[in-house]
Structure 1
Amino acid sequence: MMLDIQRFDIAAPRFAGVVLMALLTTVLSACGGSSEEDLSAWMKNERARVRPSIKPIPAPVKFVPESYDVADEMDPFSGERLAAILRGAQVNPLLNSALVEPELQRRKEPLESFPLDNMSMVGSLDKKGQAVALINVNGLLYQVRKGNYLGQNFGKVMEITETEVVLREIVQDATGEWTERTASLLLQEEAN
């Protein structure tokens, strides 16, 4: 009886392999039962069921050019306009240069080489009764007093408070005239 058990143990893996092959053949034959005709019929039905809706392209809008109504006026880029501005400056050159002439004659200060937008007020001090503003420019700290110059528009410090530096700048307007304007640097507090 011992021999029969050994035969069964040896035959069991072979039998399992045969059963597995038969099962795979059955599964594969079931998959192979559908043909290309079935697939084509299904695709045809799906295409017939789904109808895309395509909106028509609108007709192009006709371009209507605008008329240029200022042709009679002086061209802003013409030499005549520049000549008119220069004639105005030559008529009264003392008034035009009275503001800027003293600024051109004095020695430039270091903070005049930076635009005012690159500066920020980070604090203020009181040194011997005189207000001093602390100005940060590109990571460097400068002490500024009343009468110093800041920015690239001849900005003279007129007043320093705990929260603000008030400047008088001299700039050219659209006609080329030099005019004064007030600018200020406000205290910038760092957000933690």
Structure 2
Amino acid sequence: MTRSFWIMLLAAGVGGLTACATSHEDLQQWMAEQRRQTVPKVTPLTEPTRYVPLAYVGGTAADAFGSDRLTQVLRRETGPLSVSASLVAPELNRRKEPLEAYPLDAMTMVGSLDRAGQKVALVKVDQLLHQVRQGNYLGQNYGRVMRISESDITLREIVQDAAGEWIERSTTLQLQENTK
């Protein structure tokens, strides 16, 4: 490639750029016309409300974060200790047993034994076998074992009804036959 070729190529490029610049005058004129005609519409902002801090008088008012205030509010809302609350109160104060961590539908009664004249149920949870006696607790609804037979375990559970009241209900965990 010779030097004259490069000069001709450069001249053609400059000529093309010059031609592009002159052909956009009508576009620039149209843009200027549009800028003059367009008027922005801005809605004014409303004045913000002024913050007025309240004075805190520490000596005369009750402590806003104290437990006394919470206790007063709870007493006002619940009134005297109701029958339903007294039903669940002893359950909240006792130590939980290991099988209360599992829901009843995760437990399976697989058999029963007679030990020294007392019925013992065999309950399977998470591939582990547990011995359950009358008076033990099962499930997450404060289920106390009331009766054990060869075919089922009868529980007394304490649950909340739709109104939020604590009620007792009877539930049965039945013997599951091995289906292979």
Assess same fold via TM > 0.5: yes
TM-score (norm 1): 0.53
Q: In the TM superposition, what whole-angstrom CA distance separates every residue of 1:120-151 from its partner, at most 9, and x where no partner exists?
A: 10000000000000000011000000000000
The equivalent residue for 2:104 is 116
For the residue of structure 2 that corresponds to 1:98, the secondary structure is helix
Within a 5 Å distance, the mapping from 1:1-192 to structure 2 comes to 90-192=78-180
TM-score normalised to the size of structure 2? Answer: 0.57
| 1:140–1:185 CA distance, 2 compared to 1 (3 A) | same
Q: Highest Rg: 1 or 2?
A: 1
Give the C-alpha shift of residue 97 in structure 1.
Answer: 1.2
Deviation string 1:142-186 (CA, Å, 9 cap, x unpaired) is: 000000000000000000000000000000011110000011100
Helix, strand or coil at the partner of 1:134: strand
Aligned residues: 107
Deviation at 1:87, TM superposition (A): 9.0
The percentage of aligned residue pairs carrying the same residue is 60
CA distance change for structure 1 residues 88 and 158 in 2, over 3 Å: closer, same or farther? Answer: farther
Q: Which runs of 5+ in 1 are unaligned?
A: 1-85
Give the whole-Å Cα distance in 1 for the aligned partners of 2:132 and 2:77. Answer: 35
Give the gaps of 5 or more residues in structure 2: 1-73
RMSD of aligned alpha carbons: 1.7
